[in-house]
Amino acid sequence: MPPTFFVAGFLIGLWLESVARIRIVTGDAASRMLALVGTAVALLGFFFSLSGILAFGRADTPMFPFKPARALVQTGPYRFTRNPMYVGAIITYVGVAIAMNVVWPIILLPLVLAGLYTFVIRVEERYLHELFGSEYDAYRAHVRRWI
């Protein structure tokens, strides 16, 4: 499941924080402000992911990668990105790290994304190409993977 990559990366980052702490800011006032900014960013990411989930619901197709797709969703946030749920998860991940004033999870994010791309996105894209053929190819040609 794709969220596993984000959770694992974040937990490893928190473990690294316990070994070698790196703060974004120091001081109580700055930490409180950072917590507010990070929470706002995390909520923005959550709602962006939710918009992708709702688009799948409106198209009456499962969002889980282990269930067969019934439609190629190209509405809502899928007009701008082929992976709004992942983009939202990235924004949420960074927002939570900011809110917690921790750096290691952010440092590990490229590894999380490499794992997600290698083991999930490439498989999903191959599956969608096999299932929807030229319709998916046309969609891929005009909508970016990320943003």
Is 98 within a domain?
Answer: yes
The set of residues, in sequence order, having a beta carbon less than 8 Å from that of 99 and lying 6+ positions away, is 34, 35, 36, 37, 38, 39, 41, 42
Q: Residues 80-116: pLDDT tens digits?
A: 999 999 999 999 999 999 999 999 999 999 999 999 9
Is 29 within a domain?
Answer: yes
Closest CA to 109 of 92, 123, 129, 93: 93
In the chain, what is the straight-line distance between the N-terminal and C-terminal CA atoms, in Å?
Answer: 22
Helix, coil or strand: residue 63: coil
Q: Residues 39-92: pLDDT tens digits?
A: 999 999 999 999 999 999 999 888 876 788 899 999 999 999 999 999 999 999
Q: Bigger pLDDT: 140 or 62?
A: 140
User: What's the alpha-carbon Rg for the chain, to the nearest Å?
Assistant: 17
Is 113 within a domain?
Answer: yes
Residue span of the structural domain in which 33 resides? 3-142
Please state the domain count of the chain. 1
